[in-house]
Chain A
Amino acid sequence: MIVRDRLPLKRIWPQAWRRLLILLFFDCTVAIVYTVFHHHWMSLDGLPVAPLASALTIFLAFRTNSAYGRWWEARSLWGSLVNTSRALGRQFLTMLDDELEPEDRIPLRNQLVLHQIAFPHVLRCHLRKQTPFPELQSILGKEIADELRQYKNVPAALLVRMGRLLKQARNEGMIDSFRWTAIDENLTTLANIQGACERIKNTPLPRQFDYMPSLLVSIFCWLLPLALVENLELLTPVASTLISFTFIAADLMSKEISNPFENTIHDTPMTALSRTIELNLREQMGEVHQLPSEQRKKLGDLQPVDGIVF
């Protein structure tokens, strides 16, 4: 996610320069042919181009809204994941009666919180098609990481593991049915968040929304110099290229934000959010202050790299 105030031109330019260069060449040709060689027949009345621009704006606005909707939904889902994780951490730590806990094992409450810490990391890797196992191994240990390797959908498998741990706690008399139901509702919320993220990831913007604005932008950019040349003559390339750049940039930007889980600069900042969740839950467990200073430092907030937080 871009967090800097200004969007540098270098972010748009690589995708736009080829189209703009061709258009600039065409604009110059039109201006010269019209002004120098007096081929006035090629001038187009501005009237039909103006409604086209209006129609195009509607298309572009519609596509941009749809793309932004997807981006914002992705961000909201991850915001909701942060809240649900904190709520679950609190429930695990306060609702499980530990008097009955055998002393020779890691307390179930801690195991559950560690699973909850692992969940956002695993979900992030799942959405970015990245392997989650090195992090799983670091958080939950090699045995559990190896056990989860057999699953294709690791976040879902992790939720099942959490459900089983909860069932174990219930069987051992550490929680009653009411508390179990309350915690299970939050686990279902996690599953819903994962499902919604997968829906965004696996469903592209409808092709009609995507294709039509691009096509119309191209048509408009080619017609524009013909409509401007009568009034602007040799200055046509300057105005035409600038206007074309505006439309092309709008077209490109809305395209880019429509996929918020694609490991690009427009991604939801999932790495930063996973780390926030980890930090919060480890604080809830009272672990942070016991960690060596180097590890504590690593758990700190992520700083933007070149104005971008991943």
Chain B
Amino acid sequence: MAMLQNTRHIIFATNFSDACHAAVPAVARWVDMLQCKLTLLHVYNADRMLYRDANTQLQSFFAEADNYPQCQRVLMSGNPAEGIAEFCQRHRDALLVLPPSDQSGLPRPWHRSMRARMIQTLPIPVWTLGRTMVGGTPPATMDRHLGVWVSSPEEGLAHVRQAAQYASQTGSTLHLLHVVPDVNEGSLAHTLRTKAPLGEEYAEDWLTQVASSLDIAQRVEIHVGQGKARRELPRLIRTSGVEMLMVSQGAAVERGVFRSEVSSIFRECCSGIVSVPLATHGLTVTAPAPVLEEVA
């Protein structure tokens, strides 16, 4: 799948939150640029809400989309994560837009990240944001600076190649970003887990090799920082002018003992983040499950 440029369908999963409203300008730009179909998808809990109310909300959300050439609103009942996954499984050519939840400011001890689950399980790319950007304009792909975070050699180069292909097709500058961890005597365990370089010069050499291995000709810039990734990555994004960041599926999610979360490294990142699935080829398409309620 030549990922974004060949995207013919955007699935915007919404719960009508402020974050979803804030993502509307970016989604509108995607739809316009890619000339693709837009599906506004809402999965509601039938125990808590009436179909009629959910439908009214869905019809009123992003109302301007009614004027878009190919827009459909799909309403499903059931578990949101399962509903979205089920719908996306039947649309392998799609890009799933999944904004972050609104910040409640209260502890959520039993919360399980739906975004992390979607990123881990779905065979399609997922677009999200590091944090809720209400009032800001989340970047889409009108940019000419596309970043790709190369966190370690173990994650492979599939997402780098896809980013390179996309940058080439859109005439964007490709920025390879890498953060070298602070090295001290106590952090030797890091070297056991990864073959990532432990010095800035080595990292630059490694990224130069990665850049030269990309067979598609384009402008490539390398940015390396040293320190904590959570602090350094946003700084690299700012200094490089990157407006959208592609990351591998593995790097997008932080695996915990009991649950997975979208990596906290992106929390302060202002750019849109696209998580690229590890493998999109060779997946068998399962028989589509019936949509419970569908509204054209």
Contact = CB atoms under 8 A, between A and B. Distances in A.
Interface of B is mostly: helix
Interface stretch (A69-77, A226-234, A236-244, A260-268): A260-268
A131 B25 contact: yes
Contacts of B206: none
A294 B25 contact: no
A121 B67 contact: yes
Interface stretch (A52-60, A104-112, A154-162, A299-307): A299-307
A128 to B, nearest CB: 6
A259 interface: yes
Nearest to A142: B69
Contacts of B60: 302-305, 309
Contacts of A94: none
B16 A137 contact: no
Of B25, B28, B106, most buried by chain A (CB within 10 Å of CB) is B28
A129 B29 CA distance: 10
Interface in A240-294: 259, 262-265, 271-272, 274-275, 294
B105 A14 contact: yes
Contacts of B28: 125, 130-131, 134
A262 B63 contact: no
A135 B61 contact: no
A135 B21 CA distance: 18
Of A259, A275, A306, most buried by chain B (CB within 10 Å of CB) is A306
Interface string B239-277: 000000000000000000000000000000000000000
A121 B57 CA distance: 21
A306 B16 contact: yes
Contact of A17 (B24, B25, B61, B106): B106
Of A16, A125, A265, A298, most buried by chain B (CB within 10 Å of CB) is A298
Nearest to B296: A294
Contacts of B69: 134, 137-138
Interface residues of A, number: 38
A10 interface: yes
A135 B25 contact: no
B135 A14 contact: no
Given A138-B69, A305-B57, A130 B25 contact: yes
B276 to A, nearest CB: 25
B278 interface: no
A263 B59 CA distance: 18
B134 interface: yes
B21 A263 contact: yes
B143 interface: no
A133 B102 contact: no
A310 B135 contact: no
A17 B137 CA distance: 25
Contacts of A309: 60
Interface in A1-50: 10, 13-18
A23 B104 CA distance: 19
13 contacts: A14-B104, A16-B105, A130-B64, A131-B32, A134-B28, A138-B68, A259-B135, A263-B24, A263-B134, A264-B18, A264-B21, A264-B135, A274-B64
Interface of B: 16, 18, 21-22, 24-25, 28-29, 31-32, 56-57, 59-61, 63-64, 66-69, 102-106, 134-135, 137, 296
Interface of A: 10, 13-18, 121, 124-125, 128-131, 133-135, 137-139, 259, 262-265, 271-272, 274-275, 294, 298, 302-306, 309-310
- The 7 A-B residue pairs whose C-beta atoms are closest, nearest first, are A17-B105, A130-B25, A138-B67, A135-B67, A14-B105, A262-B135, A134-B68
Given A130-B24, A134-B31, A306-B16, 9 more contacts: A14-B102, A130-B25, A133-B32, A134-B68, A259-B135, A262-B135, A263-B25, A265-B21, A306-B57
